[in-house]
């Protein structure tokens, strides 16, 4: 029978003949095709460098993290992918409503001068657009190829070992490159092998559980709840709410709604998958507001996923021949939807350093050190904003304060306002006060840009 696999492996070999082979060498090897890896590959390919990206999954692949803030547009403009994102017509989000310890705040991006919206995206589609864009710009992208280990003994030409699983094969080989970008997400390929990845705090041992519902109601920009038919006329907001020792998100998408819980791992310790699903559904049903939104909804069976290993950072993310970016470098509680923006920022910073290093190898160590401090600054900023009293681990306060002083006024105001909506930002507000930006903000703007709401209309 034509095309049927045979035990001798002839079929696999003949399939492999038609597949484009992974080259033996390149300027830059990127591990992982999420937002960090694909945008890094795009930046470098656009600058004319020879980039190979190895991705272990088959795209489109599922991913969590569906709420995007408008800050992403400046990065997608840089890589020229904004138009392709716009053409997909993802849901435009106007802002957020946060119910935290019974205080309700609404933030609208338009109040801060943002002319482009945030987005609620299906990440499989969004990430696929980014990866295809990288390929269309000249990056060589290979799905189903898993990076296994590395050999940095020749610092000029590191060697990467991978397994190519295309065509049902398990072909092992190597590729040499001048620079490695680790964008492998939470598996933190390099940081784990270098043993530099650290959990932020043992007290911050959280677990995220998320699943999808059909037919849930959504929260509109006018704070009322609507059935999904109204999405054609009413802009949604991301809905976030605290409870006991955790918090929950509700993000309406096209055709389904993403709901996720962040809880101390202790709460689900010893539970199997089924018990976690019961815990998830019961918690959702017990929370005010959320239970109203989910009243008419149906849980999509089998959609529950969870992720432990919640908040981590690495104290060295750049070396003279490698750069760890996105979640491969650090992960910050996603309460302010910073993840994809951080991935884009890191990709831009790392590729700038690599481009300069490829032109002028003599200074490559210096470029990597500069990049390290930029990326640690950005992570420190996000971490102090999102992790409450635990957020000081691994942060260089001086760097964070400098960034606060350099931010455009409206961007700073939006973040300062966001920092008032939960009790997570003590460190951030302390640093902002020390940097001299908080007092100025409180004098001039307090109360003008954030709306404290008495109640929700559902
Ligand atoms: C519960 C939760 C909620 C979140 N909510 C939000 C949100 O609302 N908004 C937001 O902006 N962010 C959110 N995030 C964060 C966001 O999802 C991530 O920050 C973002 O996906 C990081 O992109 P990345 O490219 O670094 O990693 P990923 O998107 O994880 O991509 C990494 C890729 O590397 C591949 N890979 C891994 N190992 C290998 C290997 N050895 N070889 C080859 N390929 C490999 C993987 O298959 C994957 O495709 C959330 C995260 C969590 C956990």
pLDDT level of residue 450 (50, 70, 90 thresholds)? low
Q: In a 3-state reduction of DSSP, which class is residue 345? A: helix
pLDDT digits (tens, 9 = 90+) for 316-345: 999 999 999 999 999 988 899 999 999 999
- pLDDT at position 387 is 80
**Cα of 34 to ligand 1 centre, how many Å?**
6
pLDDT digits (tens, 9 = 90+) for 275-300: 999 999 999 999 999 999 999 999 99
**Cα of 327 to ligand 1 centre, how many Å?**
6
**Cα of 68 to ligand 1 centre, how many Å?**
13
With beta carbons less than 8 A apart as the criterion, state whether 174 and 159 touch.
Answer: yes
- pLDDT at position 395 is 84
CA separation for the pair 42, 49 (Å, rounded): 10
Neighbours of 282 (CB within 10 A): 9
With beta carbons less than 8 A apart as the criterion, state whether 78 and 426 touch.
Answer: no
Q: CA 410: distance to chain centroid?
A: 23
- pLDDT of 233 higher than 50: yes
Could you tell me the end-to-end alpha-carbon distance of the chain, in angstroms, rounded to an integer? 61
CA separation for the pair 345, 326 (Å, rounded): 8
Which bin fits 259, alpha (ψ -120 to 50), beta or left (φ > 0)? beta
**Residue whose CA is closest, atom 32 of ligand 1?**
185
- pLDDT at position 153 is 96
CA separation for the pair 163, 373 (Å, rounded): 33
Q: CA 193: distance to chain centroid?
A: 22
CA separation for the pair 399, 39 (Å, rounded): 25
User: Which atom of ligand 1 is nearest the CA belonging to 307?
Assistant: 53
Which residues neighbour 164 within 8 Å (Cβ) at sequence distance 6 or greater?
22, 142, 144, 145, 170, 171, 172, 173
- pLDDT at position 5 is 45
- pLDDT at position 49 is 98
Mean pLDDT of the chain: 91
**Residue whose CA is closest, atom 18 of ligand 1?**
339
Return the higher-pLDDT residue of 395 and 110: 110
- C-alpha distance from residue 443 to each of 438, 439, 440, 446, 448 (Å): 9, 6, 5, 7, 11
CA separation for the pair 372, 319 (Å, rounded): 8
Q: What residues form DSSP beta bridges with 182?
A: 31, 324
User: Which atom of ligand 1 is nearest the CA belonging to 146?
Assistant: 42
The pTM score is: 0.94
Mean pLDDT of 67-87: 98
User: Which atom of ligand 1 is nearest the CA belonging to 36?
Assistant: 25
Domains present along the chain, CATH in parentheses: 20-63+126-198+315-362 (3.50.50.60), 91-119+201-307 (3.30.9.100), 385-453 (no CATH)
**Cα of 328 to ligand 1 centre, how many Å?**
8
Which residues neighbour 352 within 8 Å (Cβ) at sequence distance 6 or greater?
43, 371
Name all residues whose Cβ lies below 6 A of ligand 1. 31-37, 54-57, 61, 63-68, 146-147, 183-185, 187, 189, 208, 210, 260, 307, 326-328, 334, 337, 339-340, 343
Vertex 24, ends 18 and 29: CA angle to 5°?
Answer: 105
CA separation for the pair 63, 73 (Å, rounded): 20
Does residue 60 have a cis peptide bond before it, meaning omega lies within 30 degrees of 0? yes
Mean pLDDT of 26-50: 98
């Amino acid at each position: 029978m034509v095309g049927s696999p045979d035990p001798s492996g002839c079929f696999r070999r003949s399939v492999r003949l038609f597949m484009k082979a992974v080259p033996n060498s390149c300027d830059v090897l990127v591990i992982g095709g999420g937002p960090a890896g694909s945008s890094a590959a795009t930046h470098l390919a656009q600058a004319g460098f020879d980039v190979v990206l190895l991705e272990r999954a088959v795209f489109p692949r599922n991913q969590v993290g569906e709420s995007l803030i408008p800050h992403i547009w400046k990065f997608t403009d840089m890589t020229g992918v904004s138009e392709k994102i716009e053409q997909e017509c993802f849901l435009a989000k106007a802002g957020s409503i946060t119910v935290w310890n019974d205080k309700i705040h609404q933030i609208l991006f338009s109040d801060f001068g943002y002319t482009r919206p945030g987005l609620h995206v299906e990440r499989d589609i969004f990430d696929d657009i980014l990866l295809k864009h990288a390929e269309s710009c000249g990056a060589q992208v290979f799905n189903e190829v898993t990076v296994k280990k590395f050999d940095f003994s020749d610092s000029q030409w590191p060697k990467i070992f991978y397994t190519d699983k295309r065509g049902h094969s398990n072909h092992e080989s190597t590729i040499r490159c001048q620079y490695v970008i680790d964008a492998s997400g939470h598996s933190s390929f390099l940081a784990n092998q270098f043993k530099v990845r650290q959990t932020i705090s043992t007290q911050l041992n959280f677990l995220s559980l998320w699943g999808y519902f059909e037919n849930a109601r959504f929260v509109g920009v006018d704070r009322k709840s609507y059935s999904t038919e109204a999405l054609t006329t009413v802009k949604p907001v991301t809905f976030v709410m605290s409870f006991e020792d955790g918090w929950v998100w509700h993000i309406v998408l096209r055709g389904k709604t993403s709901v996720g819980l962040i809880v101390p791992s202790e709460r689900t310790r010893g539970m199997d998958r089924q018990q976690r699903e019961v815990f998830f559904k019961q918690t959702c049903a017990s929370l005010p507001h959320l239970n109203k939104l989910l009243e008419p909804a149906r849980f999509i069976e089998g959609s529950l996923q969870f992720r432990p290993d919640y908040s981590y950072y690495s104290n060295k993310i750049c070396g003279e021949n490698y750069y760890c970016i996105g979640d491969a470098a650090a992960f910050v509680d996603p309460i302010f939807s910073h993840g994809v923006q951080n991935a884009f920022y890191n990709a831009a910073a790392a590729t700038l350093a690599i481009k300069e290093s490829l032109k002028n190898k003599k200074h490559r160590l210096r470029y990597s050190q500069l990049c390290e401090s930029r990326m640690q600054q950005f992570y420190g900023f996000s971490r102090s904003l999102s992790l409450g009293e635990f957020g000081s681990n691994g942060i260089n306060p001086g760097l964070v304060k400098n960034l606060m002083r350099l931010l455009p006024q409206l961007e700073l105001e939006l973040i300062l306002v966001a920092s008032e909506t939960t009790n997570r930002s003590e460190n951030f507000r302390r640093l902002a006060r020390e940097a001299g930006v908080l007092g100025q903000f409180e004098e001039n703007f307090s109360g003008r840009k954030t709306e404290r709401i008495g109640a929700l209309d559902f």
